[in-house]
Amino acid sequence: MFADPLIKKAIQSHPLVQRLGTIHSFVLNTAEQKCNLEIGLVGEPAPIRFSAKYKIEKTDSGADFCVFEPTCEKMWIEEILKIFFESKGGILRFPTKGIVAKILPVIL
């Protein structure tokens, strides 16, 4: 899909993601409002699969790609994610800028 690489870039540029590793694949399922990704976490020998629900929220400066209800193939990581997301109000926002912020709400 056209939006996948744009959102992948926005997520990969987030300081938190940069500290943790590199996104190897990113796929949006617009019908289910879910994203699936594989991240090569620092120190892990192979990429790990994650998924989460998503929504797009318009902001004064553009649009945020918001993820919530994350899951992971490794249960211990999923439990850490639950704790982290609870501390963030249940949602993690990835701001988009420029042309991406303008077209994202339209194409999704």
Query: Residue 1, SS3?
Result: coil
The rounded distance, in Å, linking the Cα atoms of 107 and 100 is 10
Per-residue pLDDT, 16: 77
72-91 pLDDT per residue, tens: 999 999 999 999 999 999 99
Per-residue pLDDT, 20: 87
Q: Flag whether pLDDT at 15 surpasses 90.
A: no
The closest of 48, 52, 49 to 32, measured between CA atoms, is: 52
Collect all residues with Cβ–Cβ distance below 8 Å to 85 and sequence separation of at least 6.
Answer: 68, 69, 70, 91, 92
Per-residue pLDDT, 68: 96
Q: Where are the domains of the chain?
A: 3-107
**When comparing pLDDT for 34 and 18, which is higher?**
34
pTM of the model: 0.78
- Region at 62 (left for phi over 0; alpha for psi -120 to 50; beta for the rest): left
